[in-house]
A and B are shown apart, each in its own frame.
Chain A
Amino acid sequence: MSLFRLKNFPGKGSFPHGIHPPGNKEFSAESPIEVMPPPEKVILPLLQNIGAPCEAIVKPKQNVSFGECIGVGKAFVSASLHAPISGKVQKIGVTTLPNGRHLPAIFISAEGEQLSGQDLWNDILGKDWPRDCPMVYSPQTIANAIHESGIVGLGGAAFPTHVKVMPDDKKMIDTLMINGCECEPYLTPDYRLMVEVPDAIITGAMLAGRAVTAKEIVICIEDNKPKAIERLKEKAKGTVIKIAVVKTKYPQGSEKQLIKAVLDLEVPLGGLPSDVGVAMSNVGTIAAVARGVVKGKPLTHRVISVTGAGIQNPKNLLVPIGISIGETIQFCGGFTKDAARMIAGGPMMGFAFSSLDTPVTKGTSGITVLTHDDIRREKETTCVRCGRCADVCPMNLVPTKIAMAARHHNISLAQRYNIMACFECGCCTYTCPANIKLVQLIRTGKAQIVVSRKS
C-alpha cells in the first residue's frame, strides 16, 4: 500500500504488515563509539550462541592473555570463546543471563598490561582495511578463520557465523545480505559502526561474499539512517556491493522479512535463508569477520548501546565481552531517578533482567533502560476481536486466536493457526487495544507444545 519503492531489486523495499513504534534512536545515535576502559574482571558464559556450548580449556589460576582461546566449540553449531582481557582465571562458576538461563562461565580477573584507548580501537576496528583482499583468501580459509575467531551473529540471535559460510553443495548461495536495518527501537551500535567504520564492513562483506561464493552482495539499511547510507554508498563505489535502502518499519531487520522486502523471496516455514539461496549477516558480525580474517584476531569485543531515558548519558561503547552490565551503566553516568526496567537488547524483543552483575555476551546488542512512563500500560480488557493483531503480524498469523488457544491450553487449535510460525516479534502485543499480552501467551503455548512433544 505504501508509496515506497526500492529500485534495482525484485522486492518492494518493505514487507506486508508490521508496525511503526517510536524509534527513540536520538538518545545515542549521534554519540560516537567510546572505548570502555578495561574492566577488573570479566564473566564469560560457555554458551553465548544458538547451538551447543563450548568446552572450557583453561583451569583456575591459569594465566590467559588477550585473545587466547579459552573455550572450544566442538559441535558443528557452536562457537569458541576467547579471553577479552589479559589476566588470571579465577574459577569456572555459574552465571545467569538475561534470558534466565543459568550457565557455567569462566571468571577472569585482569592482571598485567591491558590494551586500552586508541590502541584497542585500532586493534579491533582498525584504520586501514584492504579493499582488494578477497582474492588472496580461498573460501575455505575464510570460513576456517571465522570458525576459529568464534564469531556469532552480533545482531542478537547469536547464530554461529561459520555455519552460514561453510560451503554446502546442496544449498548454493546466490546473495549475501548484510543486515544494517537495526529496526529495534533505541539501539544504535550498528548505525555507529556503519557511520564510523564503513571500511571494515566493506572488507568484511567482500570476504564473507567470497566465502559463500555469492553472486551478489547487498547491504540493507532502513531509510531513517541517511548518514549510514551515504557513507556506505561512497565506500562501496567500485566494488560489487550494492546498497538497498528499505522502509523504516518494525521488524524490517528480521531475516525473513528483509529477504521478502529486498529479494521478494519467501523463506519456507521452519527453513533457513539458505533454502532460498541467501546468507544473511549483521553489519557488526561482518566487521568482526573482517578482523578475524585479515588480522587473525578473534571476537573479544563488541559495540553496544547503553541507552534509554533511564540512563544519565546514553552512549555507544566498545566493550570487552563478559564485562558486567552494571559497569557499563556506571560508565554512562548511572541511572536516572525514574529508571524502571533494564533490558538486554531493545524494548521489542530484548530480555529484562535484574542483576547488575549480568555479563555482556556476544549477542548483547545494547542495554536499554526504560522509565516508569515508558513501561506503563493499562489493565488488560477482553478481546473485542478487532483483528488489529492480524493486521500487523509480519508472519500473517492471527495472534489473538493463537494466544487465546494457548491461554486455554488448546494446543490443537493453536497449531491449526500455525503457532510455530511465530517468531515473537511482539507487534501484536504492541498494537493490541485491549492490552492483552498476546506474544507472551503465544510463548507459553509454544512451551506447552514442546512439553507435549517430549512426553
Chain B
Amino acid sequence: MTSQSEKKSDPQPESIKPAINVAPSPHIVDGSFTTRRMMYDVLIALTPVICVSVYLFEMYAVRQILICLASCLVAEALFIRIRGKSITLMDGSAAVTGVILALSLPGTAPWYAGVIASVVAIGIGKIIFGGLGMNIFNPAMVGRAFVMISFAGVMGAAAYEHAGDAVNIITQATPLNAFKQSGIVSPLTDMFWGTTNGSLGETSAIACIIGGLYLCIRRTASWEIPFGVITMMVLIAGIKDIAGPFSGRLVLHHLLGGAALFGAFFIATDPVTSPLTRKGKLIFGAGVGALIMLLRLFSGYPEGVMFAVLLMNALTPLINRWTIPIPLGEE
C-alpha cells in the first residue's frame, strides 16, 4: 500500500528530472472535507446554542463549558498517553464531546460533576473501546448518564430550580418538569426562543435548528437522523395530543421542550455511534424519537433523550446488519 519513491532517468539529460512515485488508484482525493473539518463543523454549528446559553445562564454556562472542555481535553491527552498512542487532540473530537456534554448538563451542576462526567465520557465512553471511531455509545451521553445517576440529588430535577437565584431563568421549573408534575404546558414562544429553564444547550429551539440545519447542509450530520427523530416524536405526541385536551399544543411542547431538538441535531447524529446507510439512519432516528416519547410519557423521568440515544446506540450494530444495501443489479 505504501507508495515507493523512485528516481527516474530521463531520456534527455538536460531536461527536468521529476521524482516519479507510484501508488494504486485513485490518485486524487477530495481534500476539502476531512474528519477534522467535520469536528470543527460541529463546533461552528454549536455557536448559536452556546451564545444563547451564555446569554441566559451567564456565568453558569461559561463555567460549565470551560470545565467540561478542559476536563475532556486533559482526559483525552492522559488516556491517549496511557495507551501509548500519539496525541490526537487536534482532531477536535474531544472538544466536541466536552462542549456537547457541558451543554447537556444543568448550569448549576457542581464543578466536580462536570469533571467526572468528562473523564467518564472520554475514558469509559470512548478510549476503552479503542478511541475515536470505535466506541459503541455516544461518549457525552455516557458521561452525562454516569453523573445523572451517581449524583441524582444535585443533578436531578432539583438541580434545575434555584429559587431566588441571581439568574432569573433558573428560578423557574423546566417545561418538561412542569408538565410532568402538574401538567402545565409552558408558553411555546418562550420555548422556541429559549427563555425557559433547562440544560444549558437545550432551551432554545431556534438555536438548535440553525446549527442543525448548518450541519445537515454541510452533510456533516445526516439529515435522515433528525428527520427520523422529529417525525416519530410528532407521530407519537400527536396521538397523545388527540387523546388528551391539548388542542395541538402538546406536539410542539414535546418538540420544542427538553433536549429533543438538541439531541436530534447534535447528539443522535454522532456518526460513530449511528448506522452507516441512509435506511439505517432513518430507522435509528425513528427509534430515538419513539424512545424519547415512551420515556417522557410512561417513565418516571420528565426527559428521555439521553437514554433514548444510548439505547439506540446499542442497537446500531444490529441495524447495520439489517440494512446491508442491495447492490445495483442484485435481485
Contacts and interface: CB of A to CB of B under 8 A. Distances in A.
A374 to B, nearest CB: 6
Interface string A361-398: 00000001010001111100111111110110011111
Output the residue of B16, B30, B320 with the most chain A CB within 10 A.
Answer: B30
Interface string B11-40: 110011011111111111111011111100
Nearest to A426: B26
Nearest to A416: B324
A336 B24 contact: no
Interface stretch (A84-92, A281-289, A339-347): A339-347
Interface string B127-147: 000011110000000000000
Nearest to B276: A387
A278 B15 CA distance: 49
A21 B27 CA distance: 12
Contacts of B149: none
A382 B328 contact: no
Given A310-B18, A433-B35, A341 B30 contact: no
A114 B271 CA distance: 63
Contact of A421 (B31, B36, B327, B331): B327
6 contacts: A269-B327, A347-B28, A356-B10, A377-B31, A383-B133, A434-B34
A356 B20 CA distance: 10
Main secondary structure of the interface of B (DSSP, over half): loop
Nearest to B4: A354
Contacts of B222: 386-387
B133 A384 contact: yes
Contacts of B31: 376-378
Output the residue of A21, A387, A398, A424 with the most chain B CB within 10 A.
Answer: A387
A107 interface: no
Given A356-B8, A397-B327, A401-B276, A381 B91 contact: yes
Interface in B250-277: 271-272, 274-277
Top 3 closest pairs, chain A to chain B, by CB: A426-B26, A382-B133, A339-B18
B272 A385 contact: yes
Given A381-B35, A386-B271, A352 B18 contact: no
B21 A340 contact: yes
A357 to B, nearest CB: 9
A434 B27 CA distance: 16
A338 interface: yes
Nearest to B281: A387
B323 to A, nearest CB: 9
Given A341-B27, A387-B276, A430-B30, 12 more contacts: A335-B18, A340-B18, A377-B29, A378-B31, A378-B34, A381-B132, A382-B35, A382-B132, A390-B276, A397-B327, A431-B33, A435-B29
A351 to B, nearest CB: 7
A102 interface: no
A396 B278 CA distance: 11
A21 B28 contact: yes
A354 B8 contact: yes
B265 to A, nearest CB: 16
Interface in A386-421: 386-388, 390-391, 394-398, 400-401, 416-418, 421
Interface stretch (A63-71, A135-143, A228-236, A260-268): A260-268
B272 A437 contact: no
Contacts of A74: none
Contact size range, B: 35 or more
A339 B20 CA distance: 7
Contact of B134 (A352, A382, A418): A382
A326 B27 contact: no
Interface in A288-341: 310, 326, 330, 334-341
B165 interface: no
A348 B28 contact: yes
Contact of A430 (B26, B38, B326): B26
A443 interface: yes
Contacts of B331: 268
A439 B21 CA distance: 19
B1 interface: yes
Contacts of A368: 27
Output the residue of B8, B131, B328 with the most chain A CB within 10 A.
Answer: B328
Contacts of A424: 25
B26 A349 contact: yes
B56 to A, nearest CB: 32
B30 A271 contact: no
B245 interface: no
A419 B274 CA distance: 22
Nearest to B327: A421
B35 A384 contact: yes
Nearest to B130: A382
Given A271-B329, A341-B22, A347 B27 contact: yes
Contacts of A348: 25-28
Nearest to A352: B22
Contacts of A439: 25-26
Nearest to A422: B327
Nearest to A441: B1
Contacts of B34: 378, 381, 433-435
A254 to B, nearest CB: 10
A350 B276 CA distance: 29
Given A348-B26, A435-B29, A396 B327 contact: yes
Interface string A10-41: 00000110010100000000000000000000
A353 interface: yes
A175 to B, nearest CB: 17
A374 B10 contact: no
Given A335-B16, A356-B10, A433-B35, A350 B27 contact: yes
A398 B247 CA distance: 45
Contacts of B25: 343, 345, 347-352, 424, 426, 439
B325 interface: yes
A85 B106 CA distance: 82
